[in-house]
Amino acid sequence: MRKKKKARSRKQRYNIEMIEDFLDHFFWEFTINLYECTRQDPDKQINPELVEQLYKYQKKYNTIGLMPALVIDPSGVPEGYAKEATKSFRIARAEKAKEVLAALETLKPYFVEAFARAMSPDHFVVTPIKLSDTIETGPDDDQA
């Protein structure tokens, strides 16, 4: 019986394009979710330009979507209450979508920096921070 040879270890690098695409796809899913929850006419078709943003990732990565499609089932709820409950649900979903989009926007500059570092992993980057540049001075501090 032969022994299997151990595979040589090789350095693996992050696929930055794929990560960027994933984050962009995620962004567009929540953008569409926000649009769906805030549009006045829920039966109106989604803006084709928004759908096109998703389609390019669906085509490239052979995926239908990153988040599940939600369908409201009003059965078992009185009609008058179902309309109000649906409206409340849509408002809550819109707020959640806004939170996710704001979080992505907050993280964006950190992702950009991390991607730049990941593309040159053999160079450890040190960014000097001059402490005096981080301290806010008041109007009286200038007179010293």
Tens digits of per-residue pLDDT, 46-91?
Answer: 788 888 988 999 999 999 889 988 888 989 989 889 989 988 999 9
State how far the alpha carbon of 4 is from the alpha carbons of 7, 9, 123, 130, 143, in Å: 9, 15, 35, 54, 76
Q: What interhelical angle do 16-38 and 79-119 show, nearest 10?
A: 160
Determine the Cα–Cα distance for residues 138 and 144; give it in Å rounded to an integer. 11
Determine the Cα–Cα distance for residues 110 and 140; give it in Å rounded to an integer. 34
Tens digits of per-residue pLDDT, 25-54?
Answer: 999 999 999 998 888 776 777 788 888 988
Q: Does the pLDDT at position 8 exceed 60?
A: no
Determine the Cα–Cα distance for residues 134 and 126; give it in Å rounded to an integer. 17
Tens digits of per-residue pLDDT, 103-142?
Answer: 999 999 999 989 988 887 677 777 888 998 889 876 665 5
**28 Cβ contact partners less than 8 Å away, ≥ 6 residues apart:** 50, 53, 54, 57
Split at pLDDT 50, 70, 90, the class of 11 is: confident
Split at pLDDT 50, 70, 90, the class of 10 is: low
DSSP string covering 43-107: TSPPPHHHHHHHHHHHHHHT-S-SSPPP----TTS-HHHHHHHHHHHHHHHHHHHHHHHHHHHHH
- Direct distance between the N- and C-terminal alpha carbons of the chain, in angstroms, rounded to an integer: 83
Q: Which helix (H) or strand (E) holds 119?
A: helix 79-119
- In eight-state DSSP terms, residue 5 is P
Residue 4 has what pLDDT?
63
